[in-house]
Structure 1
Amino acid sequence: MLKVDDIRKKLSDINSVHVIGASLNKERTAHTAVGEISQRGWRVVPIHPRDAGATISGIPIRSEIEEGVEIEIIVLFLAPERAREVIKKLMIRHISSPPLIWFQPGAEDEISIGWLEDAGWKFVHDDCIVRFIERNDLRRPKIPSPWFRQIIDEDESGCSIWTVHEVGEDSNLPSTKVEWVGDLVELKQSNHIIPKYIRALVNDNESIEACARRLALQ
């Protein structure tokens, strides 16, 4: 368990916060936490398999944390058993720089904490990340980023539609399958086949964002 000063420093040093369990259900604290943390400047990455492709406060929901993407802090808004499964999958990855694991109240259990202690991973429990940030008046310089999505075309042709969405642009859950969704960070880092394909199409002297926008116009 980290001390308060260590937690403050960690939050001040990082850019991204992955929020596991953030769905479209506005009555859940995970949903409201996304906007509250984002307003303080952090890049927030909501994760929820069922609602992937839709947005919370203009931030796209992802289905999972993809291989290759840097993970700095993971906040668990889950029941203990589900939180345990998330931690197990993360630890199997053999991440070279383990993220800070933040158990929201009610998500922690002795098994998960025991695994983390044995592995030497840092974690926080018995506190809410939103309340901690507010109590300590923590903020980060906001780095705006568009986001991107690929879905199956509604005409049942089997084709895919690649789109670019501006900073803060909201979207409902698509009516067809979401093949990929993410922002510039994931577009640059993810090992998923779609961002890897986009990166392969970048021309000389072209940024990956410019490439993504060009492909959306085709």
Structure 2
Amino acid sequence: MAHATDDLVRDVLSRVRTIAVVGFSANPSRPSHGVARYLQSRGYRVIPVNPGLAGQEFLGEKVRGSLAEIREPVDMIDVFRRSEEVAGVTDQALALSPRPFAIWTQLGVRDDAAAGRAEGMGVKVVQDRCPAIEIPRLGLLPV
């Protein structure tokens, strides 16, 4: 599986509005917390997902224990989990109705088989990238 092109990254980040951050951390110094906060500052709605924090509130949003607990459409799943956990997260994402527009895995995180399954169902996939790096690099305006 090839790396995502700038055109794909630009398309995903300009079309999505609601992002579920899987693996969100309550610790402000952790990347998942910082990226979630950054995405909010750019106008995205961020829904934190972490079973250990379910029901608590961070960044003005209730933390969900799983993707299945989100009862509204989600445009993108941003995965802050180890590569070996991406397949399970992808399966949960593909079970959502409607399906998300995109699944995004953070720097160093890839699962080409899971990405292929998602793409086969019409979901865009960006792997091994960080939206908090790509947004300024591509000069994208706030949503």
Say whether the fold is shared (TM-score over 0.5).
yes
Residue type at the aligned position of 1:76: V
Deviations 1:5-53 (A, max 9, x none): 2322332233211111002133321011111111111111111111123
CA–CA distance in 1 between the matches of 2:49 and 2:40? Answer: 14
Q: Is the 8 A contact 2:16 2:101 kept in 1?
A: no
Q: Is the 8 A contact 1:40 1:138 kept in 2?
A: no
TM-score normalised according to structure 1 size: 0.56
CA–CA distance in 1 between the matches of 2:43 and 2:71? Answer: 23
Q: Does 1:84 align with 2:87?
A: yes
% identity of equivalent residues: 29
Residues 67, 39 of structure 1: alpha-carbon distance in 2 compared, 3 angstrom cutoff: closer
Shift of 1:84: 1.3
Shift of 1:2: 4.5
C-alpha RMSD over aligned residues: 2.3
Aligned residues: 140
Residue type at the aligned position of 1:99: F
CA–CA distance in 2 between the matches of 1:99 and 1:47? Answer: 18
Q: Is the 8 A contact 2:26 2:58 kept in 1?
A: yes
CA–CA distance in 2 between the matches of 1:68 and 1:45? Answer: 11
Shift of 1:109: 1.8
| Greater Rg by CA | 1
Q: Choose between structure 1 and 2 for higher RCO, CA contacts under 8 A separated by at least 6 residues.
A: 2
CA–CA distance in 1 between the matches of 2:73 and 2:116? Answer: 24
Look up the match of 1:71.
74
Residue type at the aligned position of 2:47: V
Look up the match of 2:20.
18
The structure with more helix, counted as a fraction of residues: 2
Q: Which runs of 5+ in 2 are unaligned?
A: none
Shift of 1:94: 6.5
Q: Is the 8 A contact 2:73 2:98 kept in 1?
A: no
Residues 59, 90 of structure 1: alpha-carbon distance in 2 compared, 3 angstrom cutoff: closer
SS in structure 2 of the partner of residue 50 of structure 1: helix
